[in-house]
Amino acid sequence: MEIDYKEGIKNVGNTARLRKVFERAANGEKITIAFLGGSITQGSLASKPELCYAARVFAWWKETFPKAEFTYINAGIGATDSQFGCARAAEDVLSYTPDVISVEYAVNDSSNEHYLETFEGVVRKLLSAPNLPAVYTFYNVCYDNGASAELQHSKVARHYNIPAFSMQSTIYPLLLSGDIKNRDITPDDLHPNDLGHQMVADVITYGLNKFRVCDVCSDVQIIATLPAPITANAYEDSVRFRNKNADIVENSGWTPDESRQEVITDIFKNGWTATQKGAKIAFRVSGSCIGVQYRRTIQLPAPVAVAKVDGEVKAVLDGNFDETWGDKLCLDTLLDHGAAGEHIVEIEITEAHEEDVLPMYIVSVIASGN
């Protein structure tokens, strides 16, 4: 049994933006290809960066259009979801004025209405860029149980008429049939190995090539105006506040981290640290949805804090992480579709230990829904 590549094209959509890039690339122009997503996009468990799916798809562009001058932007950050993607898309992707953007969050997002809304926010933000980039998405899958946010994300792809590709319809059936064993393509049933990354790239490039030669493509013109959102769409305008731009109304015991962030995967930068119980910091933000990012570390024990919005406890920020794969950039939602307007976010350490290896680290506060 081989991959049924035709089944991988879950949505053709309006291919006009892609076809315009194909035309420009064939003419030898400068083209920037960007990839936004989580750890699979980052290249986790590929033995070399150039063997991850994103690099392989980028290689397809270079091989297919040898006259063009290509730039590769990999904006994958492990263990992050589309809620964070909304907040960082402008800085990490759109700042490079990409011509084509791949976006994937199907195994980082849960299959629920919250992530339907945040994924819609990402897609709207990307499609709305002034240079009208071509945007497509694809759906990775958990190889042990078939879990994926494809059901929710596909609603967005269809509504915005963007191309979409599915690993649930192509690679996962090979595991169910026994033609491929899980450990042939993934060490942990989530992240592909080199062969798994190759298979993901093959599904995507098959679709891109079909669009290129117009075997399956639409004749619709490039559409600049987006349709009305299918959700409340509070997350499209997310703003991320770090120590360079935050409005701090109180600070007792927190130190800004001003060390330089060299790459986007250097995630614990530009925030604040504290070590003592009772240390408090408060921010003024505006919006109806608020989140806080902080570090959970495998170097135990670690401090614990509480987060309040307008004096009401909304979350416990536990710096102790009981996994083994590394420290996690955690994003907790403190307010989801609350009252629009100005709010005060307070974070206070409630538990600290003499033997703490690392301080409590607040990476950012994210406000949405203005």
Average pLDDT over residues 327-335: 98
Average pLDDT over residues 227-254: 98
The per-residue pLDDT for 217 is 76
- C-alpha 23/C-alpha 43 separation (Å) is 29
- C-alpha 308/C-alpha 338 separation (Å) is 14
The per-residue pLDDT for 322 is 93
- C-alpha 336/C-alpha 291 separation (Å) is 9
Question: Is 149 within 8 Å of 105 (Cβ atoms)?
Answer: yes
The per-residue pLDDT for 344 is 98
Question: Is 195 within 8 Å of 43 (Cβ atoms)?
Answer: no
How does residue 120 score in pLDDT terms, banded at 50, 70 and 90? very high
- Mean pLDDT for all residues in the chain: 97
Digit-coded pLDDT (tens) for 287-296: 999 999 999 9
Digit-coded pLDDT (tens) for 2-58: 999 999 999 999 999 999 999 999 999 999 999 999 999 999 999 999 999 999 999
- C-alpha 368/C-alpha 335 separation (Å) is 10
Q: How many CB atoms lie within 10 A of CB 284?
A: 16
Residue 293: φ, ψ to 5°:
-105, 135
Query: DSSP string of 206-225?
Result: HHHHHHHTTSS---PPP--S
The per-residue pLDDT for 368 is 98
List Cβ neighbours of 266 (8 Å cut-off, separation of 6 or more).
Answer: none
The per-residue pLDDT for 134 is 98
Q: Which of 124-138, 148-162, 212-226 shows the lowest mean pLDDT across its residues?
A: 212-226
The per-residue pLDDT for 370 is 78
The per-residue pLDDT for 152 is 98
The per-residue pLDDT for 1 is 65
Task: Take residue 132 and report the two structure tokens written for it.
Answer: 């009208």
List Cβ neighbours of 365 (8 Å cut-off, separation of 6 or more).
Answer: 240, 241, 246, 283, 285, 290, 291, 292, 293, 345
Which residue, among 38, 28, 101, has the nearest Cα to 70 in the 3D structure?
Answer: 28
Which residue, among 136, 135, 198, 194, has the nearest Cα to 171 in the 3D structure?
Answer: 198
Judge whether residue 360 has pLDDT over 90.
Answer: yes
The per-residue pLDDT for 219 is 67
The per-residue pLDDT for 165 is 98
Digit-coded pLDDT (tens) for 187-233: 999 999 999 999 999 999 999 999 999 887 776 799 899 999 999 99
Judge whether residue 73 has pLDDT over 80.
Answer: yes
Digit-coded pLDDT (tens) for 160-174: 999 999 999 999 999
The per-residue pLDDT for 191 is 98
Question: Is 293 within 8 Å of 362 (Cβ atoms)?
Answer: yes
- C-alpha 81/C-alpha 115 separation (Å) is 9
Instruction: Check residue 95 and report its DSSP letter.
Output: G
- C-alpha 13/C-alpha 158 separation (Å) is 7
Q: Look-up: residue for tokens 């990307």?
A: 126
Which residues, listed in sequence order, are joined to residue 335 by a DSSP beta bridge?
Answer: 290
SS3 of 63, please? helix
C-alpha distances in angstroms, 249 versus 76, 284, 285, 346, 363? Answer: 33, 7, 10, 9, 17
SS3 of 7, please? helix
Domains of the chain from N-terminus onward: 5-212 (3.40.50.1110), 239-368 (2.60.120.260)
Question: Is 283 within 8 Å of 345 (Cβ atoms)?
Answer: yes
- Cα dihedral sign, 176-178-182-184: negative
Q: Look-up: residue for tokens 């949505």?
A: 11
Question: Is 89 within 8 Å of 120 (Cβ atoms)?
Answer: no
- C-alpha 167/C-alpha 200 separation (Å) is 7
Quick one: how far is CA 280 from the chain centroid? 30
List Cβ neighbours of 217 (8 Å cut-off, separation of 6 or more).
Answer: 12, 15, 19, 210, 211
Task: Take residue 181 and report the two structure tokens written for it.
Answer: 């064993």
Judge whether residue 251 has pLDDT over 70.
Answer: yes
Question: Euclidean distance between the first and final Cα of the chain, in Å?
Answer: 51
Question: Is 145 within 8 Å of 168 (Cβ atoms)?
Answer: no
